[in-house]
A and B are shown apart, each in its own frame.
Chain A
Amino acid sequence: MASEDTSPSHSHHRDSIKSSVGNTAANRRRQQAISIGKERREALIRAKRLCRDSIFDDDNNEKGLDEGEMVIDEEQSVLNARTAQTVQELKSSLSYQGKDATQKTIEALRALRKLLSKSEVPPIEAAIQGGAVPLLVQCLSFGSADEQLLEAAWCVTNIAAGGPEDTKSLLPALPLLIAHLGEKSSGHVAEQCAWALGNVAGEDMELRSILFAQGALLPLTRLMLSNRESTARTAAWALSNLIKGPDPKAANELIRIEAITDTIVKHLKTADEELVTEVAWVVVYLSALSDKAISILVRSDVVPVLVNWLVGSESLQLLIPVLRSLGNLVAADAYITHSVLIVGNNITDQVLYGLIKCLKSEHRVLKKEALWVLSNIAAGTLEHKTLIFSSEAVPLLIDLLSAAPFEIRKEAAYTLGNICVGPTKGSDNKSDIIVTHLVPLVKGGCLPGFVNLVRSADLESARVGLIFLELVMRGYPNGEGPKLVEREDGIDAMERFQFHENQEMRNMANALVDKYFGADYGV
């Protein structure tokens, strides 16, 4: 349970820009995040979203009351007891036959909903154990009052934000939730149901499969067309959870829906960054899982629009899916580098600009994934390599290769190597080495970084480093390669592999040392 730590030193630790005075709820959430126990951590990284506030954004009294009401702060056991009691009240109101039955039900539902949304740690298990799920299913039956549907769906939403067992207990509710997405439903009800389904889909592949089989895809997609931005946003997010795989069937089905690409483009062109973010995630999964989708997307307006965002946005939240969508598309289909990002076209310069912007950013994710995209572009035509080589990316690359965290160094290594190696092969069946790129890069100080990679405990990094050293020793003019490598303690790094457990690495390293630093070296 979150402890109340409001010592002054602690609150001064925070930047003054952030939490405003009296924002204890946010403070409490922060506390929750800080004490990162396993359970908490799982809650944080789950692809679920707890619904704490009403989705009504009109001036509903309800919301005002909610805001004023402090977060329910009670001992977990007290909370659980209250929850159990509330569920009992719900049960009795449902069996009540009198004329105020619906009102009673709604009140009970509301009480339960508040417990599940205003508590720091929602008493999800208590609700389930108290028997809430079958009651909620009953509340979701066709013909029920909108408010009842709304409150019930809200309860389900938050129960679905829990762990695997909690979410799986909601299986009976799923068909109803899907049904209430329909166009005849009230807009708010549909949106709340979409939210609930998003949480369910965010659990695992099994549930995604079930939802897909039960036909959730189409109505969610239709909901994404809604004029209400919050609805479109929620539907897009739920959709991204539904298609994220690893089974590609949902993604493949989605791209088959008529006019989906147009819808995506339309939404990507809006100014609503939150909507753009969620739709971009849909593109991420489409481009990661469906070859058919890739083929369509690369020929559509999606690419230029994404590039615009890449260049123009400063929001990390938006840049991640935009960057990754582009990354997926570039990685999967040569069409992009050869037909869209042609060197000389404005869009190509834009992409490079955007990627370099990400390299300069302070965010690890942006740096790493931008490098990945760059490395794939550098695997394109000779013109691409030259374009990157002559840009301001190179000093950044060398710097990142030397000083960044290892996963970033690896990506920088791929990029630099790809710049030095041509798309064509020579008569010896080895890729042509672009000496005019290799020499300046080595002179620019990239060798120490590569030698350092060779020393890494990560097999792939070591491999990349070793293969680049081979390039240098083979391709650097005037046979100076080996000497340069030696100067950076390359021999030492390679000799470590004599006793490496991986046979391929041993063989590779031994072969290099034997070939380039044999008995006659230096004579």
Chain B
Amino acid sequence: MDSMDSSVASPDLGLALGFPFWVASRRRFKPDDPFFASGNLERELLAKHVALDLTEDERFQLQRMEIADANLFCPIAGCGARLEYLEEFEDHYNTRHMASCSVCFRVYPTSRLLSIHISEVHDSFFQAKVARGFPMYECLVEGCGAKLKSYKSRQRHLIDKHRFPSNFEFYKKAHPSKHQRQKLQRKAYKGGDAKDQESFMDLDAKKESKQTRPKHYRPQQEVKTGTERESEMEVETKLHHPQTTETKVVTNCEAKNEKAKAETEMEVEERIEDIVSGISKLSTVDASSPSSVSFGHRHSRGFAFVPRSVRNQNQISKREQTRKP
């Protein structure tokens, strides 16, 4: 017989060192476990013959009062906001914990952390002071006030003084953004057929719709400008070499701009290549096209249908327009 788990029983607490992989095991509850509370309540209401007289609303109210006694707080470190009920969390999170960087789109749970991020990553003045030996790296724990000279030493401070886990990284190595990945995917599609090109547009459309989604509290951006893409990559390269930033701070700025320029140039070239290969794939012979066709506005009404080759051309130029900064 399985031993009785506490009410926070979950798929295997097992491996203390590693990830607690799912283990299919039975879960048992004591009779006074909160799990049974609503069933018990139901029993008493039904027995008093009151249940039938209560509307769904009233009963819900009763249950709410039961659950409301359970203390529910926001689990984001340092927040501690009281949540009246679980469903409220999502709204609370979106309101309070979605401070996002307008430069690199990273999201932080407090405005304080966001501003620390912005100083440390996007502010060359900050880097200049660091290079001159000023302790600029703030401790992340609110109220501590400590300032350290390097990212690494701040890290050590967090681990030693504030018992942060040793693998905690303020600069999390960002997974390549969706945009990056789509670009890489498109590279793979190069030389594909027309169908793939349509799916390109789908990706674009999806990306655009995603950016305007109200869920993420982000400034409205139709399309990333060249400079924005630039800084995104800047951040990434930085992350790969956190050490090097300290030493190469000043010269990095120039190197970065060079690199960014090169990147943008590469991008433009890439785009041109896409278009060229796309056009070359177009079929010039279209079974659906009528034997005689005339172009020009005068005959616009007379068009029975537009040949595929013409249609595609229009669509490609449209795509080009949306991508231009």
Contacts and interface: CB of A to CB of B under 8 A. Distances in A.
A246 B108 CA distance: 45
A500 interface: yes
A44 B86 contact: no
Interface stretch (B40-48, B256-264, B270-278, B284-292): B40-48
A19 B29 contact: no
A331 B180 CA distance: 49
B292 to A, nearest CB: 48
Interface stretch (B87-95, B153-161, B245-253, B294-302): B87-95
B31 A421 contact: no
A332 B30 CA distance: 11
Given A44-B62, A500-B75, A517 B26 contact: no
A511 interface: yes
Contact of A30 (B2, B44, B53): B53
Interface stretch (B129-137, B167-175, B316-324): B167-175
A68 interface: no
Interface in A419-458: 420-423, 430-431, 455-458
Interface stretch (B16-24, B196-204, B223-231, B305-313): B16-24
Contact of A246 (B8, B20, B30): B30
B54 interface: yes
B309 to A, nearest CB: 34
A369 B93 contact: no
B62 A45 contact: yes
Given A34-B58, A503-B165, A18 B11 contact: no
Contacts of A110: none
A281 B42 CA distance: 13
Chain B interface mostly? loop
Interface string B94-110: 00010000000001110
A318 to B, nearest CB: 10
Nearest to A413: B11
A450 B45 CA distance: 33
A522 B28 contact: no
Contact of B22 (A288, A471, A505): A471
A320 interface: yes
B27 A414 contact: yes
Q: How large is the interface on B (under 10, 10 to 19, 20 to 34, 35 or more residues)?
A: 35 or more
Interface in A237-263: 244-246
Contact of A459 (B11, B75, B109): B75
B39 interface: yes
B43 A430 contact: no
B254 to A, nearest CB: 25
A332 B1 CA distance: 6
Contacts of B78: 499, 501
B38 A423 contact: no
B144 interface: no
Contacts of B53: 14, 18-19, 26, 29-30, 33
B62 A507 contact: no
A33 B62 CA distance: 10
Nearest 5 Cβ contacts at the A-B interface: A457-B89, A517-B175, A30-B53, A288-B31, A331-B28
Interface of A: 13-14, 18-19, 26, 29-30, 33-34, 36, 41, 44-47, 49-50, 244-246, 281, 284-285, 288-289, 291, 294, 316-317, 320-321, 324, 328, 330-334, 363-365, 368-369, 372, 375-376, 378-379, 385, 406, 414, 417-418, 420-423, 430-431, 455-460, 462-464, 467-468, 470-471, 491, 495-496, 498-503, 505-508, 510-514, 517-519, 521-523
15 contacts: A34-B58, A36-B62, A47-B40, A49-B47, A246-B31, A328-B28, A333-B1, A455-B89, A468-B22, A471-B21, A496-B76, A499-B78, A507-B167, A512-B19, A522-B180
Given A378-B24, A499-B113, 5 more contacts: A368-B35, A369-B39, A456-B89, A470-B22, A519-B173
